[in-house]
């Protein structure tokens, strides 16, 4: 591996790991350690796979000198003796290429699962969107199984993956195998495109200002960059099977890095906005319009924050542990669902400019702070007997 590629590989790896640490910090600030969700742990499994992939990419250059069983003419294959050091290097390189496809597949599809579980938090309680997310889970599982089966079953017998002479054929040259390239390309593009469109309807039907909708769309559109890298990687190999493998490997490194960054970006973006707030334009720092909007469902979660679900509710009189109101796209507001539980109609008062307004069931309140006080039966009886004006 050329020195420039080695530097790029480990630079991107260091940035990806650092961004993941920042994401974990942002989530802990938002919801606390105890309320971390599946995607918060799954992202670190992805980082372990990412580490393995980077080690494999490095060893392709160090241990195998960039060689494998592809890019050879029949004459070169027949002339290469098993006693030649190059023969052993090509064997090692071919095996690393096979392991590299496996690690890249596991990494990209693990990151897709992280996005799916993030969407589950984002659309908490919205049944219509949950169905779409479940479809995404099925699509991810199906394409992953198809890809792994292609990698390990397309070349038979399996040891032809590192055969030098005679020519094992394109299918058994892992670095340039067309079946692997096409199945990965189709699965990668189809899942990323579907994941991109899931949150858009809810986002653009919301009452956010247009520039905030555009900002949120930009944050969620990182999958498009992954698709671009996947296209370039596939084109290089298909157009030039001899030398295209090296360019494809370089773009594969960039693809996985972009996938790590874009998966973490929705959680890191609100924190970055808080840190950069003094340097942002006044328009972006202005307070939001505190209005009451109608919504359906039992919960909603802002990007980067926690939820208004039962697991995150605090006891009466205590501040919520959910710090997402400070981690959303609009740092001064958060959308919460006021819900009715156990047959008790809960009501909340929103204070705006010294005026209190009552919210009905299933309203969403945009406010800097929400306090919900539960009135039990005994307290209502006491209030009735005393005919006092005290509210609960």
**Segments in the chain below pLDDT 50:** 286-302, 306-370, 375-392
pLDDT at position 242:
67
pLDDT at position 126:
67
pLDDT in tens, 163-186: 998 999 999 999 889 999 999 999
**360 φ, ψ (degrees, to nearest 5):** -90, 175
* Helical spans, DSSP H, in the chain: 3-31, 38-62, 74-79, 85-122, 127-153, 178-197, 200-204, 210-220, 222-239, 244-275, 282-285, 377-386
Residues 6+ apart with CB under 8 A from 244: 176, 236, 237, 238
DSSP string covering 300-313:
---TTS--SSGGGP
pLDDT at position 279:
72
H/E run at residue 337? strand 334-337
pLDDT at position 391:
39
Q: Are 334 and 306 in contact (CB under 8 A)?
A: no
What is the residue whose two structure tokens read 């996938």?
A: 259
d(CA 151, CA 156): 11
Cα dihedral 80, 84, 90, 93, rounded to 10, equals: 180
d(CA 310, CA 301): 12
d(CA 41, CA 352): 39
Q: Is the dihedral of CA 324, 329, 334, 340 positive or negative?
A: negative
């Amino acid at each position: 591996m050329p020195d420039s590629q080695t530097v790029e590989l480990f630079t991107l790896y260091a940035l990806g790991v650092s961004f993941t640490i920042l994401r974990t910090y942002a989530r802990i600030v938002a919801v606390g350690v105890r309320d971390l969700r599946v995607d918060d742990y799954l992202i670190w499994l992805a980082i372990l796979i990412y580490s393995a992939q980077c080690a494999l990419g490095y060893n392709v250059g160090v241990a195998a000198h960039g060689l494998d069983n592809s890019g050879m003419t029949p004459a070169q294959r027949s002339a290469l003796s098993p006693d030649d050091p190059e023969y052993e290097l090509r064997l090692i390189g071919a095996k690393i290429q096979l392991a590299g496809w496996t690690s890249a597949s596991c990494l990209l599809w693990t990151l897709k699962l992280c996005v799916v579980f993030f969407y589950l938090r984002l659309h908490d309680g919205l049944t219509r969107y949950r169905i779409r997310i479940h479809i995404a889970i099925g699509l991810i599982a199906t394409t992953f199984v198809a890809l792994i089966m292609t990698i390990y079953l397309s070349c038979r017998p399996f040891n032809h993956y590192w055969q030098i002479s005679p020519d094992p054929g394109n299918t058994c040259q892992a670095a340039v195998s067309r079946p692997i390239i096409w199945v990965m390309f189709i699965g990668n593009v189809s899942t990323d495109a579907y994941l991109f469109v899931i949150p858009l309807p809810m986002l653009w039907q919301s009452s956010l200002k247009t520039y905030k909708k555009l900002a949120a769309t930009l944050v969620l559109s990182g999958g498009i960059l992954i698709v671009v890298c996947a296209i370039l990687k596939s084109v290089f190999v298909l157009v030039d099977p001899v030398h295209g493998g090296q360019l494809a490997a370089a773009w594969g490194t960039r693809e996985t890095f972009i996938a790590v960054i874009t998966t973490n970006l929705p959680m890191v973006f609100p924190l970055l906005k808080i840190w950069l707030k003094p340097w942002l334009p006044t328009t972006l720092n202005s307070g939001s319009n505190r209005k009451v909007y109608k919504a359906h469902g039992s919960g909603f979660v802002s990007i980067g924050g926690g939820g208004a679900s039962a697991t995150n509710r605090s006891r009466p009189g205590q501040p919520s542990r959910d710090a997402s109101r400070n981690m959303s796209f609009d740092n001064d507001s958060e959308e919460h669902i006021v819900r009715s539980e156990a047959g008790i109609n809960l009501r909340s008062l929103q204070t705006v400019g010294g005026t209190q307004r009552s919210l009905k069931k299933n309203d969403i309140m945009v406010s800097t702070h929400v306090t919900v006080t539960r009135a039990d039966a005994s307290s209502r009886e006491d209030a009735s007997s005393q005919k006092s004006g005290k509210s609960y």
